[in-house]
Amino acid sequence: MANNDKNTANALDPMLWVDLYGDFLFNYAWIRVGSKEMAEDLVQDTFVAAWQAKDSFRGDSTELTWLTSILKRKVIDHYRKKSTHKEISASQFTQPFQDEDGMQEHWIMERAPKDWGKEFQYPLREEEFQNMIELCLSKLPEKWRSVFVLKVMEEIDSDEVCKELGCSASNLWVILHRTRIKLRECIENKWIK
């Protein structure tokens, strides 16, 4: 009887998933892929995959945690498929550092990072910042966005990111470096005046 009680306690209720978890899962996906339509598709794919795998749910986690882990895998798959697109060459990348003898790797003064101050102590500013990050991520090349989302936002191990996206470890770090510089530049140009 105890085993039967456990199975009852772990029973999923797929009929409530959209109402209970739809908004959370949509926002989770949207922040990571930068497209409302793609986020909707990924959430729908998540619900379909969860429905198909509902009998394997063991109840070791909550429904939301389980659904989020399925969605996380869908996001990774999305970026893995998109990672085959042509990457922007380094020559198209605005160089923030000096390239002259003795001054190599020093910031060009006009391109040096600006002081962001203590503006992030206010919740409204944090929401604005989140919106700005989403905008700036959407302007990145697909592979750069893929690497950044998987490595920084999803906190996936570097080896797994490289395996999923088909890049070398050194290429991963170059992409992350360039992405961080472009994100900072975008935020400074569009938000911090």
CATH number of the CATH domain containing 32: 1.10.1740
Residues 127 and 48 in one domain: no
Q: For position 42, what pLDDT does the model report?
A: 93
117 and 184, same structural domain?
yes
String of DSSP letters for 122-175: SHHHHHHHHHHHHHHHHTS-HHHHHHHIIIIIS---HHHHHHHHT--HHHHHHH
Instruction: Note the pLDDT of residue 114.
Output: 56
pLDDT recorded at residue 188: 80
Q: Which domain holds residue 26?
A: 2-82
> Mean pLDDT in runs of 10 for the chain (193 residues)?
42 84 90 86 93 88 91 88 58 48 50 53 64 84 88 88 87 89 83 57
Q: State whether 116 and 180 are in the same domain.
A: yes
Indicate the residue among 61, 82, 103 that finishes a domain: 82
Contacts of 99 (CB under 8 A, 6+ apart): none
Structure tokens at 45: 């794919």
Q: Do 98 and 37 share a structural domain?
A: no
pTM of the entire predicted model: 0.54
In the chain, the number of structural domains is: 2
Q: Tell me, what's the pLDDT at 186?
A: 85
CB 50 within 8 A of CB 70: yes
